[in-house]
Structure 1
């Protein structure tokens, strides 16, 4: 599935970039800008960033669930991040009308 129309980046490419970053340091903070930098791209309209955030959360959860580390801390932290996303992200829709949002 195509996530970023401006840069022609697929969901698989974003997922692989996140896994590559987690392989380097599993506890680093991964944000859309870091993912795009690792792909040697940059956010243009940034309308895809909400979808990239959701992908980061999903891939990070799966990555840590497969690891040997106790997953309870990871899941509780990611639930807090998801809660903040719902609380703050859905309120303003990044300045776009709801009918134009992909997320």
Structure 2
């Protein structure tokens, strides 16, 4: 599935890059900018970043589920990331107010 149409990045490309980053350090914080940097790309319109974040969370969960890490560590870390995303991620969209109209 095509995730980023600006850079022509597929979901499989993202998954491979995220797994490569996790192989380097399984507990590092992976954000879209780090993934794009590892792929030698850059966010242009950044409309794909919410989908990239969901892919990062999914792949990280699967990666740690296959590893020998303690389940308590994995769940608490990922739940905290989800809470922060809900708390900060949905307040505004591109810094526009709800009633903003471009036309």
TM-score by structure 2 length? 0.87
Shift of 1:12: 0.8
2:52 aligns with 52
Provide, for residues 51-79 of structure 1, a one-character-per-residue CA deviation record: whole Å limited to 9, x for no partner: 11111111111100100111211111111
1:30 paired to 2:18: no
| Structure with the bigger percentage of helix | 1
Q: What is the total number of aligned residue pairs between the two structures?
A: 98
Matched, 1:12 2:3: no
Shift of the 38–10 alpha-carbon distance from structure 1 to 2, 3 Å rule, reads same
CA radius of gyration, larger in: 2
Runs of 4+ in 1 over 2 A off after TM superposition: 93-98
Structure 2 unaligned blocks of 5 or more: 99-103
SS in 1 for 2:3: strand
Match of 1:93 in 2: 93
Distance in 1 (CA, whole Å) between partners of 2:96 and 2:36 is 22
Structure 2 SS opposite 1:43 = coil
Unaligned runs of 5+ in 1: 99-103
Give distance in 2, aligned partners of 1:9 and 1:36. Answer: 10
**SS where residue 92 of structure 1 aligns?**
coil
Secondary structure of the corresponding residue to residue 93 of structure 1: coil
Residue 51 of structure 2 aligns to a residue whose secondary structure is helix
